[in-house]
Amino acid sequence: MESPDSLFSGQSDALCILCRGSKLLCGKQRCPVLVKFYSNVKVKSLTDSLNIDGSSPPGVFIGRIGYPYVSVGPLIPPTHGDTTLLDTPEMWLGKSIDEIVDFRSQLVRGKHLVHIRDLDSSRIVEATREMALCASPIDVEAEFLKKPHARLVLDDEVQPFGPTAPLKKIDVGNTKFDRRMEKAFNDTDLKAKDAVLELYKKDTIISSIQKAFSVGAFGEGKARRFVPTRWSITAVDSMIGANLMEKMKDFPLINEYLVFESWQLDNRFAVMMIPRAWSYELIEAWYPNTVWNPFGKDVAIMSSSEGYEGRTTYAEIGGCYYAARLAVNEYLVKERRQARVVILREAHPGYIMPVGVWNVRENVRAALKAAPKKFSSLDDAFSYISTRLVIPKARWIKESTVLKNTLYQRGLEDFFT
């Protein structure tokens, strides 16, 4: 059995080896290494082999290390049946970190190194692409060059995953493609962006679009290529969000201040909509002893924002920015309204390890499904937020670009009211 030490990959490994989960020297409420370790223990006997046979959710993963040469391959659990839950983050809201890690630890990641443009270089590559187009779990048999090895990877962009091993060969059972995906895959004259937007309009879940995008299933002819999973997640969120945003700008402003909220995994989200022309900001406050502020004594706050015309550079805050922007524009387009939006996120110490950018998108979506609190002024809205979040109003404003602009700059709408 592997020790917890062998599961960890990161810059704090010396501290973790000294602590070994007993002293909580990192300050977290629980040890993320042990959470992953005990989850792996549950499936160790089922994955400790050169062969695995199970129903993939379907799941695939494309690495980014060594780009443009990347590791591609399936995610396979050692069980058969309906495994959809294991790789569908849209179904995880309300689940605990332990449950999510359990889902992911069951998925053995097979790896096969290829160039991003070698889409038909082997049966492993072809099978991986086919799996990403499937509408339901698919039976897979895989043989590895060596036994799967578990390690803990902390990444706020992608979901945790289980043991990994280089693939020798793979056999895939009968495939049943999602007809929407198959149509986009077969249309080699359709641009990748247009395929993504068309699938979204047809109610294809976003995580499925992201998988297909990552295996090069969309795009014009020879332009198709593998895209690392981490990048595909943000690319799809960004494309869909930007498209919705342009539609939203044609709608009239909301006429009052709205506040929505969602609390999950010791994350607190407050979504504030302001009756002004579109601009947007995500502000994240990471408390001491959280995964991205493990040794700090003070709350660490960072933000990214955009004005009416949008951004021209990648958001400093990363993929969470685009995931949340997609969610708020879904809501505004549905309501046929325009607003200025500021999202305030507090990550508290119970958030011991990142679980993926889906956490932000689905939390904001969940917040926006509930009835909002309504206010007549920014002060009133913040008075309510101050009863829900810990960071005081003055600190949020200090760290914010959009809130400062709202408070101290007049917009065109001010001259027509």
Is residue 311, in this structure, part of any structural domain at all?
yes
Instruction: Please give the average per-residue pLDDT across 243-257, as a whole number.
Output: 98
pLDDT in tens, 107-134: 999 999 999 999 988 999 999 999 999 9
378/11 Cα distance (integer angstroms): 42
166 alpha carbon, distance to own chain's centre: 25
Domain end position, chosen among 172, 188, 206: 172
Domain end position, chosen among 189, 213, 242: 242
In terms of domains, do 390 and 305 share one?
A: yes
What is the pLDDT at residue 414? 54
Structure tokens at 415: 């001259």
CA atoms within 13 A on the CB side of 197: 14
Instruction: Please give the average per-residue pLDDT across 86-100, as a whole number.
Output: 93
pLDDT band at 289 (very low <50, low <70, confident <90, very high): confident
Is residue 71, in this structure, part of any structural domain at all?
yes
Instruction: Please give the average per-residue pLDDT across 148-162, as a whole number.
Output: 73
* % residues pLDDT > 90 (the chain): 73
Instruction: Please give the average per-residue pLDDT across 229-234, as a whole number.
Output: 96
- Residue 37, pLDDT above cutoff 70: no
* HEC readout, the chain: CCCHHHHEECCCHHHHHHHCCCCCCCCCCCCHHHHHHHHHHHHHHHHCCCEEEEEECCEEEECCCCCCEEEEEEEECCCCCCCHHHHCHHHCCCCCHHHHHHHHHCCEEEEEEEECCCCCCCHHHHHHHHHHCECCCEEEEEEECCCCECCEECCCCCCCCCCEEEEEEEEECCCCECHHHHHHHHCCCCCHHHHHHHHHHCCCCHHHHHHHHHCCCCCCHHHCCCCCHHHHHHHHHHHHHHHHHHHHCCCCECCCEEEEEEEECCEEEEEEEECCCCCEEEEEEECCCECCECCCCCCEEEEEEEECCECCCCCCCCHHHHHHHHHHHHHHHHHCCECEEEEEEEECCCCCCCCCCHHHHHHHHHHHHCCCEEECCHHHHHHHHCCCCCCCHHHHHHHCCHHHHHHHCCCHHHHHC
Structure tokens at 51: 């062969």
What is the pLDDT at residue 296? 82
112/125 Cα distance (integer angstroms): 8
Residue given tokens 């960071």 in the structure block: 391
What is the pLDDT at residue 416? 44
| Between 289 and 154, the higher pLDDT residue | 289
Instruction: Please give the average per-residue pLDDT across 270-279, as a whole number.
Output: 98
In terms of domains, do 277 and 336 share one?
A: yes
In terms of domains, do 202 and 342 share one?
A: no
CA-closest candidate to residue 226, choices 362, 410, 69: 69
Range of the domain at 292: 257-416
In terms of domains, do 404 and 273 share one?
A: yes
339/355 Cα distance (integer angstroms): 29
66/389 Cα distance (integer angstroms): 42
pLDDT band at 402 (very low <50, low <70, confident <90, very high): very high
Is residue 252, in this structure, part of any structural domain at all?
no
In terms of domains, do 383 and 309 share one?
A: yes
Contact 212, 190 (CB under 8 A): no
In terms of domains, do 12 and 139 share one?
A: yes
Residue given tokens 């795009």 in the structure block: 219
In terms of domains, do 185 and 168 share one?
A: no
Is residue 233, in this structure, part of any structural domain at all?
yes
283/327 Cα distance (integer angstroms): 15
What is the pLDDT at residue 11? 44
pLDDT band at 413 (very low <50, low <70, confident <90, very high): low
In terms of domains, do 273 and 334 share one?
A: yes
What is the pLDDT at residue 44? 62
pLDDT band at 156 (very low <50, low <70, confident <90, very high): confident
Contact 234, 357 (CB under 8 A): yes
In terms of domains, do 295 and 360 share one?
A: yes
270/341 Cα distance (integer angstroms): 10
In terms of domains, do 184 and 226 share one?
A: yes
What is the pLDDT at residue 26? 63
* % residues pLDDT > 70 (the chain): 86
Instruction: Please give the average per-residue pLDDT across 356-381, as a whole number.
Output: 97
Domains in the chain, number = 3
pLDDT band at 106 (very low <50, low <70, confident <90, very high): confident
In terms of domains, do 10 and 155 share one?
A: yes
- Residue 354, pLDDT above cutoff 90: no
Mean pLDDT over all residues of the chain? Answer: 89
Starting at the earlier edge strand, list the strands of the sheet with 257-264: 300-306, 280-286, 340-347, 267-274, 257-264, 373-375
In terms of domains, do 292 and 338 share one?
A: yes
pLDDT in tens, 59-86: 999 999 999 999 999 999 999 999 999 9
User: pTM here?
Assistant: 0.88
- Residue 34, pLDDT above cutoff 60: no
- Which residues have CB under 8 Å from 194's CB, separation 6+? none
pLDDT in tens, 314-335: 999 999 999 999 999 999 999 9
| Between 409 and 202, the higher pLDDT residue | 202
pLDDT band at 46 (very low <50, low <70, confident <90, very high): low
